[in-house]
Structure 1
Amino acid sequence: MSAPEEHPRPGGAHVVTGGGRGIGRATAEHLLDLGAGAVAVVEADSAALEWTAAHPRAGRLVPVRGDAAEEGTAERAAEAAQDAAGAPLAGWVNNAAVFRDASLHTTPARQVMGLIEANLAPAVAGCAVAVRHMSAAGAGAIVNVSSHQARQAVPGCAPYATAKAAIEGLTRALAVEYGPRGVRVNAVALGSVATERYEAYLAGLDEEGAGRVRAQMARVHPLGRVGTAREAAAAIAHLLSPSAGFITGATVPVDGGRTVLAHDPEAHETGEGR
Structure 2
Amino acid sequence: MQHEQRHREVAVVTGGGQGIGRAIVERLLAEDRAVVVVELRDEALEWLDEAISESRAWVVVGDAGDDAVAERAVAAAESLGALTGWVNNAAVFRDAWLHEAGGTVVAEMIRRNLQPCLAGAAAAVAAFRVQGVAGSIVNISSHQAQRAVRGALPYATAKAAIEGLTRALAVDYGPWGVRVNALALGSVVTERLRALEDAGTEAYARVEAAMRELHPLGRAGEAGEVADAVAFLLSERASFISGAVLPVDGGRSGQGHDPEAAPPS
| TM-score exceeds 0.5 | yes
Contact 1:39 1:81 in 2 (8 A): yes
What's 2:134 paired with?
139
| Alignment partners' CA distance in 1, 2:26 and 2:148 | 31
3-state SS of paired residue (2:73): helix
What's 1:263 paired with?
257
| Alignment partners' CA distance in 2, 1:14 and 1:118 | 22
What's 1:64 paired with?
60
What's 1:246 paired with?
240
What's 2:3 paired with?
none
Task: Please give the residue correspondences for 1:101-250 in structure 2 after superposition, counting only pairs within 5 Å.
Answer: 101-136=95-130, 137-200=132-195, 202=196, 207-250=201-244
Contact 1:42 1:77 in 2 (8 A): yes
| Alignment partners' CA distance in 2, 1:68 and 1:204 | 32
Q: Does residue 35 in structure 1 map to residue 32 in structure 2?
A: yes
3-state SS of paired residue (1:156): coil
Alpha-carbon shift at residue 130 of structure 1 (Å): 0.5
Contact 1:186 1:249 in 2 (8 A): yes
| Alignment partners' CA distance in 2, 1:214 and 1:203 | 9
What's 2:69 paired with?
73
Residue identity in the other structure for 1:262: G
Contact 1:43 1:49 in 2 (8 A): no
| Alignment partners' CA distance in 1, 2:233 and 2:53 | 23
- Are residues 206 and 13 of structure 1, via their aligned partners in 2, closer, same or farther at CA, if it must alter by over 3 Å? closer
The TM-score, its normalising length taken from structure 1, stands at 0.89
Residue identity in the other structure for 2:191: E
3-state SS of paired residue (2:55): helix
Alpha-carbon shift at residue 172 of structure 1 (Å): 0.1
Runs of 4+ in 1 over 4 A off after TM superposition: 54-58, 203-206
Residue identity in the other structure for 1:178: Y
CA shift digits 1:208-241 (9 cap, x unpaired)? 1111011101110111111111100000110000
Alpha-carbon shift at residue 50 of structure 1 (Å): 3.1
| Alignment partners' CA distance in 2, 1:101 and 1:205 | 27
- Count of aligned pairs between the two proteins: 258
Contact 2:84 2:133 in 1 (8 A): no
The share of aligned pairs that are identical, in percent, is: 56
Contact 2:52 2:58 in 1 (8 A): no
Contact 1:142 1:185 in 2 (8 A): yes
Residue identity in the other structure for 1:269: P
Match of 2:12 among 12, 15, 35: 15
CA shift digits 1:66-102 (9 cap, x unpaired)? 10000110111111011112x2x10000000011121
Alpha-carbon shift at residue 267 of structure 1 (Å): 1.7
3-state SS of paired residue (1:46): coil
The TM-score, its normalising length taken from structure 2, stands at 0.92
| Alignment partners' CA distance in 2, 1:197 and 1:164 | 22
Structure 2 unaligned spans of 5+: 1-6
- Are residues 58 and 220 of structure 1, via their aligned partners in 2, closer, same or farther at CA, if it must alter by over 3 Å? farther
Which stretch shifts more, 23-32 or 55-64? Answer: 55-64
Residue identity in the other structure for 1:248: S
Structure 1 unaligned spans of 5+: 1-9
Contact 1:68 1:74 in 2 (8 A): yes
